[in-house]
Amino acid sequence: MNAFDESAINKFKSYFLIFCFSLIIIALGYVFGTIYGNGNQGIIIVFMVLAFIIAVIMALVSYYLGDKAALSISKAYPANRRDHAHYINSVEGLAIAAQIPTPKIYVLPDPSINAFATGRNPENASIAVTEGAIKKLNRVELEGVIAHEMGHVKNYDMRLMTITVILVGLIALLSDFFLRGMLFGGGDDNRDLNPVFLIIGLVLAILAPIIAQLIQLAISRKREYAADATGAILGRHPEGLANALKKIKKDSLETKNASKATAHLYFSNPLKEGFWNNMFSTHPPLDERIRRLEAM
Amino acid sequence: MDPILLIVLIVIAAIVLYFIAAYNRFVILRNRIANAWAQIDVQLKRRYDLIPNLIETVKGYAKHEKKVFLEVTAARTALMSATTLQDKAKANNQLSSTLKSLFAVAEDYPKLQANQNFMMLQEELSGTESKIAYARQAYNDSVLMYNNGTELFPGSIVAGMFKFTQKEFFKTEEVEKEAVKVKFE
């Protein structure tokens, strides 16, 4: 399979994901509506419409403004030819290899080694690497990192992840509605409701957001492997990327201005690895990524 | 309606839809090749434009290295007058190797090495060189995909009907960066 197919599959996955999450949301809406509305169709519909409106607003905002927010939160500034000639040339070269327009090129004021890509499609993409990466990585390694980011851009990963994050957030929101409703009021109406149904609702409300979160993280980790692979196809130097990952491992500086909210964007996990962070990590373990790259 | 007639109609509709999809795919692939080719030309032109500047800068420090200057200039002219794909590939390799010897000569002049302008030109030229390599890679990848499409059944029927003929690869004598084998899971 080649990198061109990968983006087509990703676009399909985006739609499939929307479909699956819609089913979960409808199920949640149905169960909650039944509990609160005693089967009243009107309340179920109000629930669904409300959820839908919130989803659309969230989707539009992060779809069109997400990249600018990510760049400004991380304090990125545009790269210039005088100081970052090699970096700019690498991005331009890899964009040629990927046959997409050159993304906007930014530098992150941070001594750790990291990078991210953002933007809703290749025409509106931005790539940013840290000052630390430009200084500490050699040419082949930096090119490997950029090739990985170009892989994200080419594969439409940012679109897929944006949609995933929104849907996961929506499920969390719905569950939150429900649990708050249980705590404050609502108790009077469901006197004659089947307690089994109430328990199902409760379990669903607690489990759904956790499961959704785990799905999101699994997708994110998979996209990292895919971007490593696409990057290797584009740059023809998987060992450059592997060496960059090794340097990151030794470096172990946390990236400032990165938080749980923006962690999924980065090239390597900006937060330190540990049992908890691995289980709920947006990135696969470095060792496994290096192993796969070296096997190519 | 007669069920047999209905089935026949559905089959015909499916075949027509397939032909449209296959035709459009060939057009997209062919345009991708044209675009990749244009990109190679852009980068070759860029290198062509950088060379006089480079020679001037080097001359300022290494006047008597005339042989190298002549070689580079000759290779540059040869590249611009090349028209066919194979000629361009050959002239491109020739220019790359003469530039390599120019930079090797420049290493003997520490003052030149420290020259800001020279450093910038060197970076730009090596950047352009790797862009040419990337553009060639994109071109060859596109040609491979297109050629596979024209040969594989049943796409080959559509290709034959609408004259989507095989395209030539951009071959190079230097050791090709090896294509990596990648498994998507």
Residue B13 has pLDDT above 90, yes or no: yes
All structural domains of chain B: 3-161 (1.20.1440.20)
A128 or B62, which is more confident: A128
Give mean pLDDT, residues A151-163: 84
Do residues A32 and A47 make contact, with C-beta atoms less than 8 angstroms apart? yes
Q: Scanning every residue of chain B, which has its alpha carbon at the shortest distance from the alpha carbon of A143?
A: B130
Residues in chain A with CB shorter than 8 Å from the CB of B32 are 99
Given CB atoms, is B134 within the 8 Å cutoff of chain A? yes
CB contact under 8 A, B123 and A238: no
**A94: nearest CB among B123, B134, B178:** B134
Give mean pLDDT, residues A186-208: 69
Residues in chain A with CB shorter than 8 Å from the CB of B131 are 89, 92-93, 96
CA distance A68 to A124: 11
Highest mean pLDDT among A82-96, A176-190, A254-268 belongs to: A82-96
- Residue-range definition of the domain harbouring residue A139: 3-294
Shortest CA gap B139–chain A (Å): 9
Residue B184 has pLDDT above 60, yes or no: no
CB contact under 8 A, A96 and B123: no
ipTM of the complex: 0.78
Select which of A6, A141, A149, A224 is catalytic.
A149
Given CB atoms, is B31 within the 8 Å cutoff of chain A? no
In chain B, % of residues over pLDDT 70:
92
CB contact under 8 A, A232 and B180: yes
Q: What is the residue type of B45?
A: K
Which of A9, A86, A96, A221 best probes binding to B when mutated, by most B CB atoms within 10 angstroms? A96
Per-residue pLDDT at B47: 87
Residue A242, judged by CB atoms within 10 A of its CB (0-12, 13-18, 19+), counts as buried
**B138: nearest CB among A92, A96, A229:** A96
CB contact under 8 A, A296 and B182: yes
Shortest CA gap B116–chain A (Å): 10
What digits encode the pLDDT tens for the residues B143-174?
988 898 888 888 888 888 888 888 888 776 55
Per-residue pLDDT at A75: 87
Residue B27 has pLDDT above 70, yes or no: yes
Shortest CA gap A147–chain B (Å): 12
**A229: nearest CB among B32, B133, B182:** B182
Range scoring the smallest mean pLDDT among A115-129, A134-148, A260-274? A260-274
Confirm whether A149 is a catalytic residue.
Answer: yes
Per-residue pLDDT at B11: 93
Label residue B177 by pLDDT band (50, 70, 90). Answer: very low
A259 or B96, which is more confident: B96
What digits encode the pLDDT tens for the residues A191-200?
556 677 778 7
Do residues B36 and A97 make contact, with C-beta atoms less than 8 angstroms apart? no
Do residues B39 and B138 make contact, with C-beta atoms less than 8 angstroms apart? yes
A128 or A291, which is more confident: A128
Residue A80 has pLDDT above 80, yes or no: yes
- Interface A–B counts its CB contacts (< 8 A) at 68
CB atoms within 10 A of CB A268: 24
Residue A216's nearest CA partner among A165, A154, A159, A291 is: A165
Shortest CA gap B2–chain A (Å): 37
Q: Scanning every residue of chain A, which has its alpha carbon at the shortest distance from the alpha carbon of B144?
A: A2
Given CB atoms, is B156 within the 8 Å cutoff of chain A? no
Per-residue pLDDT at A193: 61
pLDDT, chain A, mean = 78
Which of B126, B177, B184, B185 best probes binding to A when mutated, by most A CB atoms within 10 angstroms? B184
Residue B181 has pLDDT above 60, yes or no: no
Label residue A3 by pLDDT band (50, 70, 90). Answer: very low
Which of A99, A142, A233, A237 best probes binding to B when mutated, by most B CB atoms within 10 angstroms? A99
Per-residue pLDDT at A258: 62
- Residue B110, preceding peptide bond in cis (omega within 30° of 0): no
Per-residue pLDDT at B14: 93
Question: Going by DSSP bridges, is the β-strand pair A115-118/A77-78 parallel, antiparallel, or unpaired?
Answer: unpaired
Residue B69 has pLDDT above 90, yes or no: no
Residue B146's nearest CA partner among A99, A86, A292, A255 is: A99
In the three-class reduction of DSSP (H, G, I as helix; E, B as strand; rest coil), residue A284 is classed as: coil
Looking at the 3D structure of chain A, how many domains does it have? 1
Per-residue pLDDT at A278: 58
The number of residues in chain A equals 296
What digits encode the pLDDT tens for the residues A222-276?
888 888 888 888 888 888 889 988 888 787 666 666 655 566 667 677 665 555 5
Residues in chain A with CB shorter than 8 Å from the CB of B120 are 85
Predicted TM-score (pTM) above 0.80: no
Residue A41 has pLDDT above 70, yes or no: no
CB atoms within 10 A of CB B177: 15
